[in-house]
Structures are given as structure tokens and as C-alpha cells.
Amino acid sequence: MSSYSTIETTKQVLLSAFENNLPVLPEVRAKGLEYVDFLGDSSEPLIPIVLKAHESFAALKALEGIIAVALCKERFGLDQDLKASVNCNHAALFPAMSFLSTADDLPKWNPEMRKKIVDTDLNHVYSNVYRRMLTNIYRTKEGRFYHLHASLNATPTLEALGLPPYDEERNEYQAAQKVIAEHTQQLTTDELEAIIRTIKEAGSPCLTREEFLATSHGKHISSKPLFELDQLESTSPPLKLSPDGPNILSGVKILDLTRVIAGPVITRTLAEYGAQVLRVTSRNLPDQSYYAVDFNFGKRTINLDLKSQEGRQAFENLLEDVDVIVDGYRPGAIAKLGYGPNDLLKRFAGKRGFVYVKESCYGEGGEWSDRSGPGWQQISDSVSGVSWANGKALGLEEPVPPPFPLADFGAGELGCIATLNALHHRLTKGGSYFTSISLVKYNDWLMSLGSYSEPLWNSMVTAHGQDIRKLRHNSNFDRVGLAAISSIQRLYSHLWNEPDFLHEAAKTPFGAVKTQSPVVRIEPYKTATRGWLNVTRPAGYDHPPKWS
């Protein structure tokens, strides 16, 4: 397969991103590839999936760099030939970050890691095998497949299925799956879907690409660009940022209202550009706290209860200086508290502009956009056809979850790009902007890129086979991810030891942390050490609630 080039395919993928009405300013569209250099060519993609995930992340990182360079030129008035540098192999490791990061050399799945983090698993989903195993693909009565999800509280779905919320006798992987499977196989796919929609929890039938595109939502999503941009008002003056910098987003203040993966990835990446990121969480809300080890780099973190008068007052004080709000909660949740984009438009009228970033599973508009249940990466994979594509490529007549949270990291990267783009509009034209991204749109785009050729895929399966051939529809998220990371480390161990790929923080509240360094390099305006203002920390670490 020596004739294959991941860089050349990445360039084609990048061009495809521009073709579907990408809402960028003319300079970005005109310059495109002139603003980025690619490194790290490979004759075979790193990620063991038949879809072009490797190239999709390299292309998105390049798009991030292109818009960042344009923003940099606008801010600093630069005329020189400034370029972003993207190593495609480094970019391919981006969605594997949480499997590669360590604290005192411990990976996140090591039981000792629990001693290092603040426990935010309030509903015992991730510490209880039986409850955790709800998140899996299960067969239904007619032999189809449905992806259930424990979300951040497994109780509503377990009880709706007629199962006890806790079952301490089934504390082993297969035993827990077996009892859940016995119940799903008594229901048709439509019956199971009706249950999930009624209780407003997470779940989806496993659809093929063709089935997804036949739905009204599939048609809607496939007609949309990778991210959307709406101008909320045009009277606010252009954003003023100091020409002294030193980084591209120095002085930009971002409120991070997100949990789990996709949303925190957005703000972690924006923090690489020197932005002041303040992550707001609540002690009353569950989360997957082990992700804080890698996703909280560059951030200050505070706890606020936005349903209390004290919490609301502190939050509103922070709003007085905010430039960007990133919202990763269920559709309408933040608006119900009075802090949605229309509320902020009224609050800031005649004062200044802002950017509101909405990350969701299903996206804006379309039949499924107002689903009040939580959206998760696994649900996006199932509904969009990714899981079926993966299973069939492995020679199976069943869907198999893809390696790594591709849709989460894909949507997170799109959120970073969309934010940089909206800030470029603010810096250039003024006004306020609403920009949105979704997990389903990333997957729709990934599927649209097509599969690897049969010879290339056969070569990849031969190389990765001992780790990925054992996977089946009921291989849960962790097992699929661990199989893929085991394979990548076996085949490409030298990559994770590349100094440019690895960031080490010797002193953090978690201990000595090793994580992925920023993929996009724009010298001298963006580097890991100059960009990140803070080392990683647990949720609610900083007091009192202020920007710095």
C-alpha cells in the first residue's frame, strides 16, 4: 500500500469541507490550503476503521489552523507568509487522547485513578458494572439492533425495561449484559424506541447509512455544512483585542458550560490559543470526572448552582465580561435558566457583542433536534450508520461501535473551528453570532467521505486483526477503545513517544500528567506552553468564582 498517502487524501477531505456552503469569510475560502502545511505522511491510516477517520481529523485540524491564521492576521495586522503546521499522524491520535493520557503513569481505567479525581459519578453509573453495561448495542425481538445508553443515570431506562436499578449479583460484564439482553429481545425495535422517547432518555435503533438518509432528519443534516453560523445582531462594534497578544485568543473570555467529552474538547482546544476559559459545573450534577485529567488543561474551574440566587448572581457577574459561551447541555436547558442566546441578546443590547456556541447530538433544526433526552456519541454512531459500517467491514452481519469517541472529538473539533470562525467574524465585522455543531453532522460527513479501498482495508485488518477481529455488537465503548489503542501502540509505539506529540505537566492536582500536546502549530502565536494559562485541575477547583 506504499502508493497511498494520508496527506494527499487529507487535502481532498479538506477541500470537501469547503464545498458544502461552509460559513467562512471570503479570505478563508480564497486562501484555504495556502495557510497550512502538512507533515507526517503515512502509507496506512492509524485508526482501525474502514471510514476515513484519520484523514477527517487531519483535515479538521488543518481547517482549525486556516481560520486561526486568518484570525491572527486580522488581530495582529500581519502581512508575512504565516502558516499553520499540522502533523497528520498527530491529528489521528487526537480522538484517542483519553486512552493515552496518564496521571502518575496511570491510565484512566486503572482503579487507582479513582483516588486522584473528584468523584462526580453521583448515580453510580461508571462504578457499577450492571448499570454501566446498559450502554451497549442489544438485539431486539425481530433480530434488529438497538443502542441503549446509561447516560449519567441508568435508573430511568432500567426501570422502564422492567429491570431493577441495581443488581449486585450481576457484577460481571457478561452476566450484566445477559439479563439486559433478555429484556430487549422481548421488545420490537419500535417498542423499545417508544419507551426511550417516552422517558426522554438516550437510545437509538442501529441504522445503516441508507436508512439514516431516508429519514427526514438524515435528509436535513446531510444538506447542512459542517457547522452553522447565524448573525444575531449587526450593530455591535468589532471585537477589540490588544495587538500585543501574545497569543491569538489572549484576552478572550470563554464560559464553558459543558460536560463529558465533546463540549470540554471545544474549550480545551480554544485554551491552546491563550483564551481565558472558565469551566462552570455544579456539585448537584453528575459528570464523568476522569476526563478532567486531559480536558481541563488551560482552564479555571468553578462550581455554581444556577438555580440558586447566590449562584445566579455570581454567574451574571461573570457574564459582564464574557466573549464566548459554550453550551453542551440538553437542548433548551440553559435557556430555561434565562441564559440562552436570545436572553443574552437582550442583556447585552447596546453594550457589546458575543458568540454563543451550541454543541448537541442531533443539531439545529430537523425532526430530532428538539429531543429532550441526552445525546451521546454512541447514539450518534448508531443512528448515522457508522456502527453498521464498522461491523460490515469486519465481516459481520451486526453493527460494531467504532474505535474511540470519534463523533465526540469530531464535534469538539468542529466546535473549536466554529468558535474561531465566529470570533473572526466579530473581529472583522462586529455583531453577535450563534454557531452550532453536532455529533450527527460529524458522522454524516465522515460517512460521506466513503471507505478505504478494499486492498488498503484488507492490509489494515491484517495489521490490526488480532485486536479488532474479536469485537462484536455488544463490545462496549471501553473494550472497543482499548482494543484499538492496544493495536495502535503495538504497531506505532514510536508515535506516542514523539516529543512534539506529548505534553507533560509535572505538577498538577492529579499528579504528573502526560497528555496530547496541541496538534496545530502556529509559531510564535500558539504553542502549548504559551497558550495554556493553567495546568489541568478537577472540577470546582478554583475559588472564588472569577476570571483570574
Tens digits of per-residue pLDDT, 84-140?
999 999 999 999 999 999 999 998 888 888 888 888 889 999 889 999 999 999 999
Percent of the chain past pLDDT 90, that is, above it, reads 82
Question: With 50 as the cut, is the pLDDT of residue 1 above it?
Answer: no
Within-domain flag for 400: yes
370-394 pLDDT, tens digit each: 776 678 999 999 999 999 999 999 9
User: Cα-flanking dihedrals φ and ψ of residue 283, to 5°?
Assistant: -65, -15
Residue with the three cell numbers 443534516: 221
Looking at every residue in the chain, the average pLDDT score rounds to 93
Instruction: Name the domain count of the chain.
Output: 1
Output the pLDDT for position 342.
96
DSSP state at residue 118? -
Q: Does some domain include residue 207?
A: no
Band of residue 528 on the pLDDT scale cut at 50, 70, 90 = low
Cell of 27: 479570505
Expressed as residue numbers, the domain containing 104 is: 6-120+218-531
Q: Which long-range contacts (C-beta less than 8 Å, at least 24 apart) are formed by 460-467?
A: 460/44, 460/45, 460/48, 461/48, 461/394, 463/44, 463/487, 463/491, 464/48, 464/491, 467/48
Which pLDDT value is given to residue 180? 97
Domain presence at residue 151 = no
Residue 464 contacts residue 247 (beta carbons within 8 Å): no
Average pLDDT estimate for 466-480: 90
pLDDT at 293 over 90: yes
* In the predicted structure, residue 351 carries a pLDDT above the cut 60: yes
pLDDT (tens digit per residue) in 496-507: 778 889 899 999
pLDDT for residue 497 = 78
Look up the CATH number of the domain holding residue 473: 3.40.50.10540
User: Count of residues for the chain?
Assistant: 548
Q: Give the cell for residue 340.
A: 440562552
* 107 vs 315, residue with greater confidence: 315
H helical segments located in 253-323 = 262-271, 292-295, 309-319
Q: What is the pLDDT of residue 530?
A: 57
| Other Cβ atoms closer than 10 A to 470 | 11
Q: Is the pTM of this model over 0.85?
A: yes
From CA 141, how far away is CA 191, in angstroms rounded?
A: 10
In a domain, 156, yes or no: no
Task: Write down the pLDDT at residue 289.
Answer: 82
Nearest to 526 by CA among 31, 59, 85: 85
Contact (CB, 8 A) for 447 and 407: no
Domain-embedded: residue 548: no
In a domain, 226, yes or no: yes
Judge whether 259 lies within some domain.
yes
CA distances to 14, 32, 35, 320, 410 from 26, rounded to whole Å, are 16, 10, 14, 32, 24
**pLDDT number for residue 473:** 95
Q: Indicate whether 175 pLDDT > 50.
A: yes
Note whether 416 and 60 are within 8 A (CB). no
Distance CA 407, CA 412 (A): 8
**539 in any annotated domain:** no
- The 3-state secondary structure of 30-42 reads HHHHHHEEEECCC
The stretches of 189-261 forming alpha helices (DSSP H) are 189-199, 209-214, 216-222
Considering only 38-42, 183-187, 329-333, which range has the smallest mean pLDDT?
329-333
Instruction: Give the pLDDT mean for 488-515.
Output: 90
The rounded percent of the chain whose pLDDT value lies above 70 is: 98
Question: Over 60: is that where the pLDDT of 234 sits?
Answer: yes
Tens digit of each residue's pLDDT (9 = 90 or more) over 41-76: 999 999 999 999 999 999 999 999 999 999 999 999
